[in-house]
Amino acid sequence: MPAVAGARPASAPSTISLIWTLLYPVILVSFGFVFVKAFQRKLPRLVALPFAINLIANVLFMPIFAGLRNVPLAAADIVVVWATILWCVVAVWPHSRWVAVAQVPYLVWVSLATVLQLSMTALNWGTP
């Protein structure tokens, strides 16, 4: 049975905006800390690289998914978001453990969102 265009898995959460409302302040403070410290040269600038890539990929997700309606590209983008969160944790751990630990809720949420996005991609594969 072919999937309906725009089909969502039954497990798709209805509280997405609430979760992001809680996560964005954590992201703002922790990412801001990394960028400020890197700019002040108190943190190696390469440590800020995964944070910058993550920020760009995160911002691009909705225009790709909702604007372009490109589900496969959105799936690739969210995998980049997920992978860069892991990279952020590994890169910043030796320098600022609180920033690394602060990424855990973000990683958990994006892990769930990645599974949902990949499920949507599979459901809609081959649908124009």
pLDDT of residue 58: 96
Reduced to 3 states (helix: H, G, I; strand: E, B; else coil), residue 10 is: coil
Where are the chain's structural domains? 44-123
Report how far residue 95's alpha carbon sits from residue 110's, in angstroms, rounded to the nearest whole number: 24
Report how far residue 24's alpha carbon sits from residue 106's, in angstroms, rounded to the nearest whole number: 9
- The answer to whether residues 25 and 34 touch, using CB atoms and an 8 Å cutoff, is no
Q: Which residues in the chain come in under a pLDDT of 70?
A: 1-14, 128
pLDDT of residue 14: 65
Reduced to 3 states (helix: H, G, I; strand: E, B; else coil), residue 57 is: helix
Reduced to 3 states (helix: H, G, I; strand: E, B; else coil), residue 34 is: helix
From first CA to last CA, the distance across the chain in angstroms is 15
pLDDT of residue 46: 97
* Token pair of 61 as six digits: 């997700």
Q: Which helix or strand (DSSP H or E) is residue 58 part of? A: helix 45-62
pLDDT of residue 126: 78
- 115: which residues sit within 8 A by CB, 6+ positions away? none
Tell me which DSSP letter residue 63 carries: I
Helix segments in 1-128, DSSP class H: 16-39, 45-62, 71-92, 97-102, 104-123
Q: pTM of the full predicted structure?
A: 0.85
